[in-house]
Structure formats: C-alpha cells, structure tokens
Chain A
C-alpha cells in the first residue's frame, strides 16, 4: 500500500510536463548557463586585466628609473608618461578611471638613494590609485611588485657598487616543486568552498518546490479528504508522501548537481583557486561516494520532514509558504556559513542539524571527514527526521488538522 502512495506521488510529479520542466529541467539548465557564464565572464575579466595596458603618469621620475623602465618596458604592459605638469588634474583622472595610477618620486631621488644614512632618510615613492576601478589596483600591484622591486634591487646595487650585494638570499629560485600538494585535495578544497552550500540549498529548493503542494496543496484542493476516506492507515499515507517527496527532491538535486558538474570545465580555475588543475584530478574513493550519498539522503530526509510538517499544519500552499520561509532562511544561513569557516570544525558542530551535514560534505570534499563526525551528523539527522515523521503521522491522525476544520 505504501508503494501505491509513493507511485502516485511520483506520477503526480513526473506526469506533469510543466512540473518536470520547472522542478528539474529549468533549475539544471539555469545552473549550467549561470555557472558557465560566470566562469566565462570571470575568465574574460582576468584576461582583460592581463591584457590591459596600464596608464601611469609619473612625476619627478629620476633618470635611473626612466632608464630602468626603458630597458624593461616590453613585458610590463604599461604605458608610462613622464614629466606631467598638472598633478591635481591627474588625481581627478584616477578618480574618473581615465588614468590607472599616478606615481610621485621624491625630488632628488637618485642622490638621496646614494646619500641616505638612516631609514628616515630613505627616499619615498608615492602612488595614487583608485581601488574602485577595475584596472587601477592591478596597475599599482604590477608597478610595485614587478617594476619597483627590480628597480629597488638595481638601485641597491648602485649604492653598494655591486647588484649582487643587494641580495642576502633568494627564495625558490631553483625549486620548481615549491607547491607540495595533492592535486585531488587541492581541487577538493576549491570544490568545498561552494559545492556543499549549493548541494544543501538545491536539495531544500528541490523539496520545497513540490513539497508544499504534496500535502498543503492536496488539502487546499480537497483531494486529501478523498485520500483519507480510503481504508489505508494514515501513517502509510504520510510515509508514502514523505518517501515520494524525498525521491523527487533527490532527483531534483541530482539534476542540479549534474548541471554543476557539467559546468565545472567552463568555470575553470575559479574552483581550483586559480591553479592549473583539472577537475579530472579529483578522485574520491567508493567509500567517500557512499558517505556523500548517505549525507545527502539524511539531509533530504530532514528537509522533507521539515517541509511536510509545515505543509501538514498549513491550510493552503500560501500559508505553508509562509511557514517554510524561516526554515529556508536557516538552511541558507547554515549553508553559507560553511563557506567562511577555516580549520577543522569542532566535533560538536557536526551535531547541529543542517550545519553539521553541510560541514560533513565540506570536510568530505577536503578529504578530512572523520568517521566520528560523519556518524554524529548522520545519527543526529536520522533522529530528527524520526521525530518529524512522528509529528507528521500524528498530524495525519488529527481530523481537524487534515480536513482544515
């Protein structure tokens, strides 16, 4: 009898083309397009920044700097203008985004380098940039890190009489293997930033879209009363609806998940933290896949329970929507909060419903999920789902609640 109810719930969803489109296809296509677009646009943004020729106006440029610049300008991507006259006008240009950077050398720069005896006497280079403009901060970064660093070394060489004296040590000059990392883990860390949050939210959104209609909708349309008139146990009806909804929510989340995975190649380095690592380097063991499946299943169970209990207590879909909104906010908060956590979470955090599950997914992607944390989050979710099911089945036995009396 349970399976008859489950099949009916699934048929109700999967035989409705509009529902299939809005619950499964549209979110998946939307996610794919959104992420692909996001990745492509970010890629183009980085490329545009890289290719942009920084416009830099330099005041009081010493001869040594102009010479150094002339020798190195080919690979810098900078268009530098010296001997400007209107400093105030250039600052307005920086504010307006017409100029990326204004640089002011101290007067008598070369001589001061040669003459200084204490740090207070070291000549200063002042930079003026606009962090709210796309090209200004990268221009300053490039100017300081690439140009001034080398120029400083050259000037120290001048001062010491030998450029080699200006260096006490070098860092990783011959070490090509500075980055000691497991590529799979590195990719996992990238994924763990965004995927646990997405999985948690998508699972809830998938269940919510259809879950409110499953009970509150049936009550509102009067079809619930028809169902309750049959000799089937109320518990069986409740469980049938819960299982049906859980399957639908899982399929909906799976569609969205596939869309995310399909869009990953387009997202490029965004998830790998800018490193040149392929998504194919990510290799989970069978056991980890099973763990992920279990976490998702218990999370779906809890979500379905929460949605059904709000749905069963509401008289209409609209009312159920009002009840479920705060729960959605909690899910969003718990999901987003895991994006900004660092270090290994305390074991007790895994006992917090929803947050614990999302943390478990995050730790799993980072290959750091301990068995104790996995079991704790799973058991807590199962217990809460059990309590919710108990509450739902009791509500199903309450005529006043079920018949909107």
Chain B
C-alpha cells in the first residue's frame, strides 16, 4: 500500500485539507445554469472558507483577467461555451490553490481565450504553483510544462523533461515524440 500526500496532507486521512489545496478543473466541471457568475464565485468561495471581502477581491481579479466582468450578473446559461469555460477556471481558482489540476483546460475555447488561459497558467507557474494538466495539444504542453508524462492506452510510456523525451525518441518536438512513442507502443494501428 502506498501513500499519497498533497502539500503534506494525506489524501485519505486529510481529504478535506487536500481538497482545500487543490484547484481542480475537468471537462465535467458544470455549474448551475440559472446562477450568475458572481453568485457562483461567492458560493464556491464560501465553501472554501473564504470571507466575503476576499471572495470579492479574488472575483474581481479573476473576472478582470478572463474578461468575465461584463457578464458577471448574467445567468450562466446565457453565456457562450468559451465564457462558461473561463468561469469554470475562475471558480476552480477562487481559493488561490497551491496545486492546480486541470483536465483539457483549453478544450473548446477559441484561440484568443485559449491564449489567455495558457498565459494565466504560465503566470501561476511562475508564481511557484504546482500545475498538472492533461492535454492532447502538444504545443500547450511544450509551452507550459517542465515535466511531461506520455500516456498511451492508459499506460505511461515516457516521463521526463521535454528535452529528454525528444532526445529519447530522436525527434525535435513533443508532437513528433508522441507519434514515435505511439508507433512503438501501438504498432498495429500505425
């Protein structure tokens, strides 16, 4: 039996503390469509134990960055997919977590919004946050990640920094490296 800890907290024994440390976003992250972005931020902020003043300033900061301010009092059901996705990111970051786990954070976003999200994550990384993302877009991984694990058919086939993976596969970029690894591991398909 192994042990997993996040920020020093055991994921089984201190699940509550672990959840407080993590900002989690998946494709499944859905919000009540008849609530406003403002209320949604307030609600999740309160669940994370933040006081109203902190929620307010954090909301203003995130909404300004992602361009949600104009829509803060509209119902979520009335927002575009991109705006909803940006709100989902904002909600998952409302408590300013130290560890951020995002599944396909720019999936379905237009190119401008995708760039804004990528840059925001870049900024968080520079602030020292631990960010784990899963993505099918190799350029995003190249841009954001210090360490990459390639998973093919549920099995990790490579793990290291980008230079070591490209060197290992004899390629010059992560996309080519992925295809080389894919060819090695799923021969019958290619």
Q: Give A residues with C-beta under 8 Å from B.
A: 1, 4-5, 8, 11-12, 15-16, 221-223, 225-227, 229-233
Contacts and interface: CB of A to CB of B under 8 A. Distances in A.
B80 to A, nearest CB: 18
A16 B36 CA distance: 12
Contact of A4 (B29, B32, B43): B43
A226 B30 contact: yes
Given A11-B35, A15-B35, A230 B30 contact: no
A233 B19 CA distance: 11
Contacts of B24: 229
Interface in B12-65: 16-17, 19-20, 22, 24, 26, 28-32, 34-35, 39, 43-44, 46-49
Contacts of B44: 226, 230
18 contacts: A1-B47, A4-B43, A4-B47, A5-B47, A11-B35, A11-B39, A12-B32, A222-B29, A223-B30, A223-B31, A225-B29, A226-B29, A226-B31, A226-B44, A229-B19, A230-B48, A231-B16, A232-B47
A225 B24 CA distance: 11
Nearest to B75: A15
Sorted from nearest, which 3 A-B pairs have the closest CB atoms?
A: A222-B30, A230-B47, A231-B20
B29 A231 contact: no
Nearest to B49: A231
B28 A231 contact: no
B45 to A, nearest CB: 10
A232 B46 CA distance: 10
Interface string B56-98: 0000000000000000000000000000000000010000000
A262 to B, nearest CB: 30
Contacts of A230: 19, 44, 47-48
Contacts of B20: 231
A229 B44 CA distance: 10
Residue among A8, A16, A227, A233 with max Cβ neighbours from chain B (10 Å): A8
Given A4-B47, A11-B39, A231 B17 contact: yes
Contacts of A1: 46-47, 49
A333 B125 CA distance: 62
A226 B26 CA distance: 9
A69 B48 CA distance: 89
Nearest to A236: B47
A12 B48 CA distance: 20
B32 A223 contact: yes
Contacts of A12: 32, 34-35
A11 B39 CA distance: 10
Contact of B43 (A8, A225, A231, A233): A8
Nearest to B15: A231
A394 to B, nearest CB: 16
